[in-house]
Structure 1
C-alpha cells in the first residue's frame, strides 16, 4: 500500500508541478495566487492518494466533490472553498487540454457563493482628521504622511505603493503610474494634498534616509531600503491609533475608503474600476453596496420614520 501511495503521489505531483510551470510562464499569476493554488492542489493529491487513485485520469467529479465536501466538513470558509474550487477547475482544464483527462470534470463543479462582507471605511470627516492632524516631525513623519495621503488619494494596493519609483509620480500632470496585478499598468490621478505631502517627503525626508542602496524607490524604510508592505501596514495602524474615535484600518481599508468616497461624490463605476485597477467591474460594484449601506444608516438616524426603513 505504501508503494502504491508513493506512485500516486509522484504521478500527481508531476502533474501539479507542470501546472505550476504553466501558471508562471503562460498565465503570469501573482506569487500569492500561485502559492495558494499549489497548496490547494497538494491537499487534493494527498486526499486522492489516501483513497488509492493512481493517475491524474482518476480525478473524476465524484472524487473532486468528495474532497470539497471534506473541506466543508473541516470548517473551511466559503472564500477558501471558492478558491479551492477555482484551483481544481483550472487544474482539470489544464489536464484536459494536455490530453491527460478525456473529459473535464471541473466543469461539473458548482461554485460556492462567497460571503462578501461590507468593508470597514472611514467617513470623510475621519479621513480628514487622520490626515490633517498627523505628527509630521522628522523624516519618518514626513514619510508616514505621504504614505497615508497616497493610499487614500489614489486607492492603490499597499504592494503597488511600495513599488513606486520617484519617476512614477508626475507632479505636472498630477498623476502616478501604477504597476498592478498581472503586470498591468495604469495611470491614477493624485490630488494636491497627496502630491504636496510627497514633495515635502522628497525634499526634506527622503534625503535623510537614502543610502547607496536606495535606488529609485519613492518610499524608504528607516534603513534606506525600499519600503516593505509589512512596514507600510504597521505605519497605517500606528498612525490611525494616534487619532481618537477612528476605526483601526489596514492600508486596504484606506483603499476601500477612497473607493467609497469617490462613488459617494458622484464618480461612475467604470472610472472607479480604472482607478482601482480591478479586472472585473463586478469587484468594483461591491462599493455601491457600501455606499448604499452608509446612506441607509444616515436615513435611519436622521429621518423621523427612518427606523422602519430598510
Structure 2
C-alpha cells in the first residue's frame, strides 16, 4: 500500500464534509465505495467481460454505454476505469495503476479529505487565544481551508490581544436568550465570524471589502472609546457616517493635494462612504434577522437606493468585439494545448458569455453541490448557481451555449448530458478538484488575448477594450442584451441576473436611449 507509513489502510483519513468528520474505512474496497458515493462519481472500477454483460442488457448496450471499456476488453482480460485529475480515464488491467494509488492520489488532491492519523474521530479543536476570543478553529497546517477561516478573519480584524478582547464582548443590544438567539453566538467575535461566513465567504473580493470596512468601524470605535459593536446606538452610527465625510483619504482628491487654499481635509469618496455604511447596515440587519441583537441601530442608515439610482454600467463590450472572441472560441485548438484544456476554455467562455454569472458563481462549492448543470428530456439546459447572500437561482441556457458544454463533458470522460443527481465539480482543475477564481479568470483573459490577433491593424480602440475587459464585462453585456436589445421585463431580467434590487437592473436601460426614444415616439405619434 502507498498510504503514509505506520497507518493501517485508509483509516487515517477524514471526510471533513461530514458533521462530525467521518473516518474513512480501513479496507481499500470499502474506502473506494465510500469515496465514490461521497463524491458522486466512480473512483476505481475493474471491468471484465462477464461483469460488463451482467451490468448491461446486451452487448450492443454495453458497447454504447462503455465504448472505451468494451474496446479494451476485446484484447485484454480486464479494463479499469479510474479517476485522475478531474476526469475518468480507462486503461487495460495490466497497465492501470493500483487502486490504493488512485485513491491516495485523490485524497491528497481533494480539499474535502484530510490526513490526521493521530486525531480522534472528531479532529482536535483549538482556539486562537481562547480566553480572548473563544472562537474555535480546526487545528492543522491548512489555515486557508474553510474550517480555519473564522479564526483568520478575526485575526485580521483584531491582530492583537487587546483588540480581540474588545471584540469578544456582548453589548447592551445583544440577545442573551438561547431561545430567540438563533445565531447561537455568545459574543460579537463569534457573531462577526458567522456573518462573514454566510455573507462574504464565497467571494474573496467581497470578503476583502467587508473586512476592510469592519476594520474601519472597529478603529473608529477604539478611537472614541465606544463598543463593542452590539453596544452601538443609532446616534453612534450617525456620528460615524458623518465622520466618514471628514475622514482624510489616502490619495487626496484632484486639485486639493498641494493647494494651500484648501484647508479642509479631503473626505472619502461617495462610493467608499456608501460601501462602508452598506457593510455596517448588512451586519446589523443580519444580526437582527438571526436574533443575535434585539434592535437594529443601523435601520435606514444606508443610502443604497440613491447610489443605485445614479449608477450606470459602462464596462460593456461592443458586439463587434464579442464577435472576435466568439470566433476564437469556435476555432481550432492551439497546437500547444490539449483537447481537454481547450474544451474547458470553450465551456468557461460560453457560461460567462451566455449565462451572465458573476466570477465567483462558477467556483465549485462542495458543501452546496453548486454550480451544477441540469438537462430536461427536451434537451434544454439550466445552470444552477449560488449568488450573493447565499441566494440560489436557476439560469436557462440558450441552445448556442450547449455544444461547448457537451463537448467539454465528453472530453472529461463524462456523459454528454448531466445526470439528475450528479454531484461533480462543474469546471475541473488539473491540480485539484475544481478550478478556482484565478483559474476561471485566467481562462477568460486567455480568450481576450487570443482575440487581439484578429484585430485590424491600427484599431487601437478595440485593442484597448480587449485588454481592459474581464468576466464582469461579459455579465454587463448579458444584462444589456436582456434589458436593451430584447426588452425583457425588468423583474425577469432581475431574476436571471440575481440582483437584489430591480433598480440595479433598470440601470442598464440608461446605457442606450434608442429603445427609450422609440417608446416615446410610439406613445406620442405625430398628427
Q: What TM-score range do you get, normalising by the shorter chain?
A: 0.7 to 0.9
Query: Equivalences for 1:58-137 in 2 at 5 Å?
Result: 60-61=235-236, 63-71=239-247, 73-74=249-250, 76-90=268-282, 104=297, 106-107=298-299, 109=301, 111=303, 114=307, 116-134=311-329, 135-137=331-333
Provide the C-alpha distance between the structure 2 equivalents of 1:122 and 1:295, rounded to a whole number of angstroms: 21
Q: CA deviation at 1:131?
A: 1.2
TM-score (norm 2): 0.46
Task: Show CA shifts across 1:254-273 (max 9, x none).
Answer: 11111111221232212211
Asked if structure 2 preserves the Cα contact closer than 8 Å seen for 1:85 and 1:109, the reply is yes
Q: CA deviation at 1:36?
A: 3.6
Task: Show CA shifts across 1:245-302 (max 9, x none).
Answer: 4423211111111111122123221221121122221121121112338999xxxxxx
Provide the C-alpha distance between the structure 2 equivalents of 1:86 and 1:166, rounded to a whole number of angstroms: 27
Pick from 454, 466, 473 the counterpart of residue 253 of structure 1: 473
Please name the residue that 1:286 is paired with: 507
Provide the C-alpha distance between the structure 2 equivalents of 1:145 and 1:98, rounded to a whole number of angstroms: 46
Provide the C-alpha distance between the structure 2 equivalents of 1:224 and 1:136, rounded to a whole number of angstroms: 27
Change (3 A) 1:250 1:22: same
SS at match of 2:213: helix
Provide the C-alpha distance between the structure 2 equivalents of 1:92 and 1:122, rounded to a whole number of angstroms: 38
Asked if structure 2 preserves the Cα contact closer than 8 Å seen for 1:153 and 1:190, the reply is yes
Q: CA deviation at 1:141?
A: 1.5
Q: CA deviation at 1:242?
A: 1.5
Provide the C-alpha distance between the structure 1 equivalents of 2:232 and 2:324, rounded to a whole number of angstroms: 60
Asked if structure 2 preserves the Cα contact closer than 8 Å seen for 1:8 and 1:55, the reply is no
Provide the C-alpha distance between the structure 2 equivalents of 1:155 and 1:70, rounded to a whole number of angstroms: 38
Provide the C-alpha distance between the structure 1 equivalents of 2:372 and 2:507, rounded to a whole number of angstroms: 33
Pick from 135, 152, 158 the counterpart of residue 359 of structure 2: 158
Pick from 370, 375, 379 the counterpart of residue 170 of structure 1: 375
Say how many residue pairs are matched: 280
Kindly indicate whether residue 240 of structure 2 is the aligned counterpart of residue 48 of structure 1.
Answer: no
Segments of structure 1 that go 5 or more residues without pairing to the other structure are 1-5, 209-214, 297-310
Pick from 192, 206, 209 the counterpart of residue 399 of structure 2: 192
In our comparison, the structure showing a higher alpha carbon Rg is: 2
SS at match of 2:451: coil
Asked if structure 2 preserves the Cα contact closer than 8 Å seen for 1:19 and 1:91, the reply is no
SS at match of 2:412: helix
Task: Show CA shifts across 1:11-38 (max 9, x none).
Answer: 455354254156268xx32325565444
TM-score (norm 1): 0.73
Provide the C-alpha distance between the structure 1 equivalents of 2:490 and 2:194, rounded to a whole number of angstroms: 33
Higher RCO, 1 vs 2 (CA within 8 Å, ≥6 residues apart): 1
Asked if structure 1 preserves the Cα contact closer than 8 Å seen for 2:371 and 2:426, the reply is yes
Please name the residue that 1:20 is paired with: 192
Kindly indicate whether residue 199 of structure 2 is the aligned counterpart of residue 29 of structure 1.
Answer: yes
Change (3 A) 1:126 1:177: same
Segments of structure 2 that go 5 or more residues without pairing to the other structure are 1-160, 171-187, 251-266, 334-338, 415-422, 456-461, 518-527
Alpha carbon RMSD of aligned pairs, Å? 3.7
Please name the residue that 1:237 is paired with: 445
Q: CA deviation at 1:157?
A: 1.7
